């Protein structure tokens, strides 16, 4: 069975601090995809990144970076120099390589950035 | 242009009523989904359709019935609404396997359902 664990329920930081959101996944499949989504207070789900299981390269996009490590089944997300607009719930998710397969979400981490 | 749209955005109704939520995507995707987000923000799949064919039908009450008239639409009909159905319902779509960005699911804005 597949599972995604986000052990941090809530994180509070002050602007300009760096923050890392942890994600650990479980699957026996060799081909799978990992995702991060952002849900701001307005409620929509915004896609941030997708990684497939064969690509362990870390990725950086502006202040966002992702560290994928198959050895520890982790896909962590770091925000550098956090801003108030980063305040949101962040979800890590896993999907398998099958048509129409579901996203299996973690329970989310609520990030609060204060000024 | 809106990629995945849902109507209505808010739905307040009485217990026992029947209601529908509509979803449309203009991304040309083959697969569409319904997810439910509960009061604790937990997101769980309800249904998925690939080319109008039901792929996933999770353990949801049979009061919930999805309908896909074509690839661009996936509607959700709920009979005899109960208090516990109050949640946010998200529609999503994704390209078929083998296409660029396969399995990336793009979500609609959500429908906030409140059953009184």
The minimal CB distance from B106 to the residues A43, A47, A105 is found for A47
Neighbours of A24 (CB within 10 A): 16
In order of A60, B6, B79, B89, the CA distances from B16 in angstroms are: 50, 23, 7, 18
Is residue A56 within 8 Å of A70, Cβ to Cβ? yes
Task: Tell me if residue A85 falls in helix, strand or coil.
Answer: helix
How does pLDDT run across A64-107, given as a tens digit for each residue?
999 999 999 999 999 999 999 999 999 999 998 776 788 999 99
- The count of C-alpha atoms lying within 13 angstroms of the C-alpha of A91, restricted to the half-sphere facing its C-beta, is 23
Chain A nearest-CA residue for B43? A105
How does pLDDT run across B102-113, given as a tens digit for each residue?
568 999 999 999
Contacts of B104 in chain A (CB under 8 A): 33, 35, 47, 50
Contacts of A105 in chain B (CB under 8 A): 42-44
pLDDT band at B101 (very low <50, low <70, confident <90, very high): very low
């Amino acid at each position: 069975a597949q599972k995604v664990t986000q052990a941090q329920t809530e994180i509070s930081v002050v602007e300009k601090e760096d923050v890392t959101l942890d994600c650990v996944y479980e699957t026996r499949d060799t081909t799978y995809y990992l995702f991060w989504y952002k849900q701001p207070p307005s409620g929509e789900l915004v896609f941030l990144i997708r990684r497939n299981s064969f690509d362990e390269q870390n990725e950086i996009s502006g202040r966002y970076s992702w560290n994928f490590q198959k050895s520890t089944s982790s896909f962590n997300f770091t925000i550098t120099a956090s801003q108030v607009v980063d305040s949101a719930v962040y979800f890590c998710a896993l999907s398998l390589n099958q048509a129409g397969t579901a996203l299996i979400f973690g329970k989310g981490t609520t990030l609060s950035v204060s000024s | 242009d809106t990629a995945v749209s849902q109507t209505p955005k808010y739905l307040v109704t009485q217990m026992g009523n029947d209601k529908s939520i509509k979803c449309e995507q203009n991304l040309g995707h083959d697969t569409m989904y319904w997810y439910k987000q509960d009061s604790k923000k937990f997101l769980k799949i309800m249904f998925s359709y690939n080319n109008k064919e039901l792929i996933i039908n999770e353990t949801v009450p049979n009061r919930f019935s999805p309908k896909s008239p074509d690839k661009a639409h996936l509607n959700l009909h709920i009979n005899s609404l109960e208090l516990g159905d109050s949640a946010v319902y998200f529609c999503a779509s994704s390209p078929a396997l083998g296409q660029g960005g396969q399995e990336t699911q793009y979500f609609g804005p959500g429908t906030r359902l409140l059953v009184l």
